[in-house]
Amino acid sequence: MNTTHDPHKPFNDLPPLPPSVDIETKAVLKKTTSCGRALAELKGIGRVIPNQALLIDSLILQEAQASSEIENIVTTSDAVYKAFSAQTGQIDLATKEVLRYREALWYGFNEMKRQQVLGRVSLKSLNH
């Protein structure tokens, strides 16, 4: 495998998937128990939130904003949330792009749900 980095050449020496080594080590398997408990606790806490979609949407908006910044599309959280809640009539281009990114994430999620890519998706109540 090539260990030197040349920014002018693509890196095509990635190993094939799935990995040839066993990734289900004892340490990883031991962590699944505590992870399962944490997810069950989160699921229980989530049930008390009247509209879970608002929580998920806020996370998706944060992801869309952060990912857009990587592409030099910069806006503020304030502008994004105002535009998302339709509290403003004028939306700048960067904020519109972040909202489009949000829509693309929801579209991808719903397509995976529709095509059963992930099996049963646990966010059945979220319909966007």
Per-residue model confidence as pLDDT tens digits over 86-123: 766 789 999 999 999 999 999 998 898 888 876 654 55
Distance (Å, rounded) from C-alpha 100 to C-alpha 30? 40
Provide the pLDDT for residue 86: 79
What band does 38 get if pLDDT is binned at 50, 70 and 90? Answer: very high
Quickly count: other Cβ atoms within 10 Å of residue 17's Cβ. 6
Please report the beta strands in the chain, taking only residues with DSSP state E, as ranges in sequence order: none
Distance (Å, rounded) from C-alpha 25 to C-alpha 66? 33
What band does 127 get if pLDDT is binned at 50, 70 and 90? Answer: low
The whole-model pTM stands at 0.57
Distance (Å, rounded) from C-alpha 97 to C-alpha 8? 29
Provide the pLDDT for residue 119: 61
Task: Tell me if 65 sits within 8 A of 80, measured CB to CB.
Answer: yes
Provide the pLDDT for residue 3: 61
